[in-house]
Structure 1
């Protein structure tokens, strides 16, 4: 299953609510990911540009997007970004495929006139 990393920020309202009633959100995040057919690997709070980060498996990018859409739609998070993460072996395979595709694709220019 593909691995994804998502990061985001809490809204001011969410921070106020968590200060009023602190809670560990790991189980809630795991349940959301699970409902989309995925598996939560890790959930971290961060100090810096982002407030939180999750690492999770999802069946595809569609489910990863749905997880984030549901979370953002709840109104407690904002400024999210999601990235596909690959192992070293997966990255090597991607580079090998990219090399093969690049050799066939070529570079635009006068020497390739009339070719797509």
Structure 2
């Protein structure tokens, strides 16, 4: 049994953030929460299967040793909105980031956190 009565199956069914990269001639997959645990394969499916097997083995060790097992951070619900911006402003934002939505979200949060009235 793991911490708080949670078992291996519980952790295997959590929604960990998976990242898959192609490095040279193989694919490498890892969970954001466990970047040192990797899976490799000739294609994405093999890399994912290898990662899941490696993670399962890690869980066996962590549970046996009573170690803490990191869980993925909860994902906040997001809602799509349409916003009209001047083209020049949008181009300026695009020069600073590849993710305009994230940029605008952070800018709005900054203004709210710092009580900046616009």
Q: Same-fold call, TM > 0.5?
A: no
Higher strand share: 1
TM-score (normalizing by structure 1) = 0.27
TM-score, L = length of structure 2: 0.27
* Higher relative contact order, chain-length normalized (CA < 8 Å, sep 6+): 1
